Chain A
Amino acid sequence: MRIEQLSIKTLTVGFLLVFTTLAILLSLMAGDYFRKSALLAQAKSLSRIIEIASVQAISNIRKEATGFGSTFNNRNTVRHALEKLQESGHTELLVAQLDDSFQKGFAGMGAIDLVKLRVYDLELKLLCESREGIAGLTPQLPPFLLQRAAGRKGVDRVKALDGLWISPAGPLYSLLLPLGGIRTSGYIEVVVNPNFNLSKIANLTQMPLKIYGTDDKLVYQSEQNKTDGGGMQLPVEYLLHAESGELAYRLIGLEDVEQFKNDMRHTQNIITLSGLVITGIALILALWIFTRLIFRPIGHMMDDINRYSVEGKLSVTARQGNTKEVQALSNAFSDMAKKIQSNIHDLERLSWLDGLTGVANRRCLDIGLDREWRRMQRDKAEVSLLLLDIDFFKLYNDHFGHQGGDDCLKSVASAIASVVTRPGDLVARYGGEEFAVLLPATPSAGALTVAGQILDAIRNLHIVHPCSSVSSVVTLSIGVSTLRPDDELSSFHLIGLADEALYHAKEAGRNQIKVASREDIAKASGT
């Protein structure tokens, strides 16, 4: 399609439709993106909740293990067993004390799952361990504890150390406490299985939970998890790392997001719908603004131009309430139209006038005569015509030159016009030095009076004419004809009769008036 075949309106509406389509797509995409983002944010928030719960669980283990270690340390039987160990190197008494906690229990045994107790000397060498608890642990401090404890000096050596580590049996928690208090004689390692405490997270977070240990082995699954078969479950993952940086646990919470999803869908619908409504309003507003500020004003201007081409009438109405550009265009167009109209008017006026004398020209006389003839025929009134000729004008011209002749013609025309002042009467230059005066609704007597006044007026101009044989000043010869138009006569007859009368006036010696004779009129009527 060529650009010339497209209107601004089509282009604008097309553009707005494309824009609307894109806006609708954007609304749909925004809604979808919002839903996905919300789900992701929800998963992140829930992951953070599991993280906090995990930190809380480890903190509980630390608190309980520290409590257990301190109590153990302060027992007199333990102090006694330690003294025996230092004196004789026998570990039996101490091992019995270690096993005692497993066999007979301890305060806080419901809060932690104690799996091993081990005793080390000041050089962190394993002295003995409980017979109870899990077997198969490497007989030394977990590497991360060994690394941290080995480098300590001074009073720092009595500070407790703890953390998660990966044993051959899976992730474990160890707390290293100085044995014998501030005047430490060795260390005790309290080893706890964190699975027990981590499983409590499900109660804290109120969401089904699965816990995977090392090698992705499922170590815990909450009751809700086993039986749940409800709505959409959003898996929320949190990774718990050992002190060495290795992955210790993978906790998967399953949040029932059916309600959340419904809320999201509702919000997504609102976002999409809002987008569509806003787009619709924007489209309507844009169309209204374009129509109001561009299409309509341009349409009005085009109507004005069309009216000019059809009716030939230039009428641009200056309308208010347009934009600056359209107003300027309208004003410019209006000014241009006014100038064109003014020029046309001037041209029209000039086309009816004689350029030299300023009175009507022959063409104007012909049209005026024709019009008045028909009007008088309708009104059944008489119409008179005077034909006037400047006597010996050729000689005057020869004597005074063309400039003098032109000046004379102007003066004569002006004098005739000063006499013929009745509305509807017409003074015209008939040709050369001849003038005509059309007097509608004027009988012969009236015409004669006017002719006499003209003759006097010219004489009174006192334009010296040295070459005239009839007077010392410029004079006129006038032929007068009067007819009552009917179907058998035409305006040509009126002219012919006036011309005839003028001829008679010249023949009779010029500087006089001759009225068309009754015979001539009768002859004209007869033909």
Chain B
Amino acid sequence: MKSTIALALFLLHLSFSAFADKPLAPEAVPGTTRVNAEEALEHILAQPKMVIIDSRHAEEYSKGHIEGAINLLDNDTTALSLAKHVSGKNIPILLYCNGERCMRSSNAAKIALKEGYTKIYWFRGGWAEWIEKKLPIAQ
């Protein structure tokens, strides 16, 4: 009986720990500019050459995304795939994924940074913030 209770408590502890320890995206990716939804939109409108990269899975992208965004999963983000969509290292790039609990866009941003892209904008709030602020959805 005691061992059962101990096991139950241990599992409960694990489940809470798992929730508590679930990582958040970093506050900042050094070398990139962190932006919120409004700032992201302002940059999109002001810089027509900006490449918007949606780092989520294709199924998520197809349900709705920021207008003009291309879908490039972080796992597929490489020097080659980036070069295919972004014509130059000084072309501005905006990266986003699901939101603050999603690690994809920060991961992709780091890859882009490593590959030498100089104007990287990271939209940390991502799709969750975009929806919450009732901004237009492209499908």
Contact = CB atoms under 8 A, between A and B. Distances in A.
Interface of A: 66, 70-71, 73-74, 154-156, 158-161, 177-178, 181-184
Contact of B137 (A70, A154, A155, A183): A70
A108 B136 CA distance: 19
Given A70-B64, A70-B139, A182-B67, A160 B38 contact: no
Interface string B105-139: 00000000000000000000000000001111111
Contact of B136 (A71, A156, A161, A184): A184
Given A155-B38, A181-B67, A182-B67, A73 B45 contact: no
Contacts of A71: 139
Interface residues of B, number: 16
B45 A182 contact: yes
A127 to B, nearest CB: 19
B36 to A, nearest CB: 10
B38 A177 contact: no
Contacts of B67: 181-183
A183 B45 contact: yes
A155 B133 CA distance: 11
Contact of A154 (B38, B68, B133, B136): B38
Given A70-B64, A70-B139, A182 B42 contact: no
Contacts, number: 45
A463 B136 CA distance: 148
A156 B38 contact: yes
A123 B100 CA distance: 36
Main secondary structure of the interface of B (DSSP, over half): loop
B44 interface: yes
Nearest to A179: B136
Contacts of A159: 133-135
B94 to A, nearest CB: 12
Nearest to A177: B136
A182 B41 contact: yes
Q: What 10 A-B pairs are tightest by C-beta distance, nearest first?
A: A160-B134, A155-B41, A181-B67, A70-B137, A181-B136, A159-B134, A74-B139, A155-B38, A182-B67, A182-B136
27 contacts: A66-B134, A70-B136, A70-B139, A71-B139, A73-B136, A74-B139, A154-B38, A154-B42, A155-B38, A155-B42, A155-B45, A155-B135, A156-B38, A159-B133, A159-B135, A160-B135, A161-B134, A178-B136, A181-B67, A181-B136, A182-B41, A182-B44, A182-B67, A182-B68, A182-B135, A183-B45, A183-B67
